[in-house]
Amino acid sequence: MRKLSSLLNLAQGSKKKVSVAVAEDKVVLKAVKAAIDNELAEFQLFGNASSIERMCSEIGLTRGYEIIPANSSAEAVAAAVEAIATGRADLLMKGKVKTGDLLSVYLKEEYGLRTGRTMNLVSVFEIPDFDRLLVVTDAGMVIAPDLRQKADSIVNATKVAIALGIKTPKVAVLGAIEVVNEKMPVTMEAAVLSKMAQRHQIPDVIIDGPLALDNAVSIEAAEHKGIESPVAGKADILVMPDIEAGNIFYKAMVFLGKALVASTIMGGKVPIILTSRADSDKTKLLSIALNVIISKGGSK
């Protein structure tokens, strides 16, 4: 897959049901409408019924959804998560609620949605003049991931890559340089992750690192540095060293590089659709499509 628009074709005709927590948000409802118009999914809208009805009327959303009234945001979140836990819905979508507040309910033991892995944001980029999609983790959740959290993020990103049709993803663990330096812990973690993959502690991937960004995505740059690696210049997945690097990469690609992007929160039994007010309408639609496709293949 080279274009994110392919997600729409793959997700079209899905009978997946999406549970939207605190749905009284016009930005979110516009994304819902676009998804319904493209026949990607059906929706359950949890929240203040009168506000949701008014907003649906304002944007012309007339079909493909059911409103489930809730007396408060907390009640709406709990009901939306319970719908996932009981199998009445297939996917969870963040509405007018903070990500942390949504996750704190999602992770309650009573719902059985934990997998034991760290949950993190996985984004897929379509970058102009680049020959493939790039899967990137993590641009917005885990602040300073340790070795275990990076290993978990690779597992999460791998599941996304496989859903996109990449059978054995090549993973580049990024740093500022491409050699191990004891004064730069990121480079040491990258080397350990590479060895973990070689010994099948992280399955279904080929990992190398540390690699600087240019050596991860450009064969010419890797050859110029004399780097011999099955990943260098061919990476499908980029593992960011921390949230600052990930966030800067994400925004640089979108606002300067004019990239398209679709995102998901992985690591639980069910992926979570996360849309931001800063995201374009197309990004929101693509994110819903991506999560529908992941849900088809299973996210555990």
- 4-114+268-297 folds as Isopropylmalate Dehydrogenase (3.40.718)
Task: Give the pLDDT confidence score for residue 45 in this predicted structure.
Answer: 98
pLDDT digits (tens, 9 = 90+) for 218-277: 999 999 999 999 999 999 999 999 999 999 999 999 999 999 999 999 999 999 998 777
Helix residue ranges, H only, 24-169: 26-37, 49-59, 73-85, 99-106, 147-163
- Do 4-114+268-297 and 120-256 show the same overall fold? yes
* Cα-based distances in Å from 27 to 31, 44, 152, 297: 7, 16, 31, 28
Encoding tokens for residue 214? Answer: 């240019």
In percent, how much of the chain has pLDDT > 70?
99
- Average pLDDT of the chain, as a whole number: 95
For residues 70-96, give the mean pLDDT.
97
The pLDDT tens digits of the residues spanning 172-208 come to: 999 999 999 999 999 999 999 999 999 999 999 999 9
- 3-state SS of 263-288 is EEEECCCCCEECCCCCCCHHHHHHHH
Split at pLDDT 50, 70, 90, the class of 296 is confident
Task: Report the range of poorest mean pLDDT among 1-5, 49-53, 239-243.
Answer: 1-5
Tell me the per-residue pLDDT of 260-282, one tens digit each, with 9 for 90 and over: 999 999 999 999 998 777 788 88
What are the φ and ψ backbone dihedral angles of 118, each rounded to 5 degrees?
-65, 140
Per-residue pLDDT, 300 = 46
Q: Quote the pLDDT of residue 77.
A: 98
Extents of the domains making up the chain: 4-114+268-297, 120-256
- Length of the chain equals 300
Of 50, 52, 32, give the one whose Cα is nearest residue 42.
32
Fold of 120-256: Isopropylmalate Dehydrogenase (3.40.718)
